Amino acid sequence: MYKIETANDFIRRTDKKFKENLLNYNKTGLSRYLKYFSDINRKGGYFFLKEAWTFMGQHNIHEKIFIIERFKRISIKQPVTHKKLKIGEIEYRFGYYMVGKNGNKINKWTWGESCPIIPKEDLDRLINLAKKDGTII
């Protein structure tokens, strides 16, 4: 039987990977260390540097971890729909990881494919933690 990675182990492993990406980008400036988001037109898009992040487990589901990520727009691949977006701007993404229950993701931590649903007990705690960590500036 496959042993599920604990939430704390997943956070440690993922945090290490994110730090390595940030360090490698700061050393090399290579775009492979950036996160690419397609524009709504599916022709252009945006390259972001993940500058900071905060993880926090949901209080009543041990197989769900919230994340707030701070991104800085590094470059824009034209054409894009929204012309007012500028290089250097900061944006945030709220997301979550869960232990998968279907297909090839069974018992593996996987990115949540929809917007996060956060219990009221966790929302303030997550925001405050992200401010304390320096993710939210």
In the three-class reduction of DSSP (H, G, I as helix; E, B as strand; rest coil), residue 121 is classed as: helix
Return mean pLDDT, the chain.
Answer: 96
Q: Rounded to two decimals, what is the model's pTM?
A: 0.92
| pLDDT (tens digit per residue) in 19-51 | 999 999 999 999 999 999 999 999 999 999 999
**Mean of the pLDDT values across residues 6-24?**
97
| pLDDT (tens digit per residue) in 92-121 | 999 999 999 999 999 999 999 999 999 999
| pLDDT (tens digit per residue) in 52-102 | 999 999 999 999 999 999 999 999 999 999 999 999 999 999 999 999 999
pLDDT of 1 > 70? The answer is no
Please, what is the Cα angle at 45 between 110 and 93, to 5 degrees?
40
In order of 43, 46, 72, 97, 101, the CA distances from 119 in angstroms are 37, 31, 28, 15, 21
H/E segment holding residue 101: none
Alpha-carbon span 9 to 5, nearest angstrom: 6
Based on its alpha-carbon atoms, the radius of gyration of the chain, rounded to whole angstroms, reads 16
Instruction: Confirm if 48 and 31 have CB atoms less than 8 A apart.
Output: no
Within 18-119, strands assigned E span 35-38, 45-58, 61-77, 90-99, 109-111
Alpha-carbon span 100 to 80, nearest angstrom: 34
Alpha-carbon span 93 to 40, nearest angstrom: 17
What confidence score (pLDDT) does residue 3 get?
81
